[in-house]
Amino acid sequence: MRIGIDARMAHYRREGGIAQYTLRLAGALARQLDGDELVVLHHRADDPASLVPPRPGMRARPLFTPPHHRWEQWVLPVEVAAARLDLLHCPDFIPPFHRACPAVITVHDLAFRIYPELLTAESARYYGQIDRAVRSAEQIIAVSEATRADMLELLAVDAAKITVIHEAADPAYRSLDEAAIAPVLAKHSLSGPFILAVGTIEPRKNLPLLLRAFAALGDAGATLVIAGRRGWLADDVFALADTLGACVRFLGPVPADELAALYNAAHAFAMPSRYEGFGLPVVEAMACGAPVIVSNISSLPEIAGDAGLALPPDDEPAWRDALRRALDDADWHVSMRARSLARAAVFSWDRAASETLAVYRKAVTG
């Protein structure tokens, strides 16, 4: 097969979830090509070698059509047709509706359908095509069973077209020794125990619950560290942190190497989200050996498995008690660290690539 994978989103937000999914998957696919050819369709301004290291059987092809552009459905089909593909994979939900080859799409979550108030007008226009997209695509990849269930509930989609394939952590997320961790802690002036939360600061991350539960610990001699960019209504979270007076540090976006050190050093990773299509930071944290505490809804209990505590996202006392245990119970910490490392090993980009290639063949053969 001559397989095309649309990597244009990497130009606009390299560290974004869809971009990282695309690049990690493309790299793993390139390691498993057996007579197939992988064509990385990238934005014309990108150096393709900076996206995915070149390998035999893989080539790059620049595209002029920007992602999410209002003329995308007219111009992109022409560029895709010129690539003479046997299959096109669109990791950003929406395929070209007029095309000369079968298409596979990846649906990461349906947050835009469940929380439409989160969308800009432009995003609403783009993701509003999702119903047509799931009808048009020959095969669909869902990144979790929870996302598959959401699709079946909210979209008119044929269940037989959906295959669940889990994501995995980047290899940068792994156990580190003290020499690798210490400089990062020093850079961020972290000298004592801390709880770590990672993700965009926005309402569905449910950070007010975490802030209140942490503040309820009183003077625990610990810090709540929040790493992630400002999102929609982030000011409310910062204002609450100021009001509570707890020891909270907002680090903003953190590079992967530094984030890996923070995961390693944290007494626990906490994710009280009200909705996640997959919850990649959970896998990253587990790959670094951090005990994880997550909401018991959407995909999070599926991803954490028996490696983490899963709590109701509105049960503040339960979160307070879990944070206290993470900070005070050394035996629990050692046990949960071992569970995290074992659970993280279940998720693999090589496995995801192998399962994705099987979906490609199904899409081509019908």
| DSSP symbols for 68-116 | T-TTHHHHHHHHHHHTT-SEEEETTS---SS-SS-EEEEE---HHHH-G
pLDDT at 232: 81
Contact criterion met (CB below 8 Å) for 139 and 163: yes
Task: Please tell me the predicted confidence (pLDDT) of residue 206.
Answer: 97
Q: Where are the beta strands (DSSP E) in the chain?
A: 2-6, 37-43, 58-63, 87-90, 103-107, 139-142, 162-164, 194-198, 223-227, 248-252, 268-271, 292-295, 308-311
What are the structure tokens assigned to 276, written together? 């996640």
Question: Can you tell me which residue has the tokens 């309820």?
Answer: 216
Quick one: pLDDT at residue 45? 92
| Residues in the chain where the model's pLDDT stays below 70 | none
What is the reported pTM?
0.95
| Res 121: pLDDT | 85
| pLDDT of res. 13 | 76
Single-letter residue type at 35: G
Query: Distances in Å between the alpha carbon of 345 and those of 17, 170, 326?
Result: 20, 12, 22
Query: What is the pLDDT at residue 337?
Result: 96
Count Cβ atoms below 10 Å from residue 305 Cβ, excluding itself: 17
pLDDT tens readout for residues 226-248: 999 998 889 999 999 999 988 99
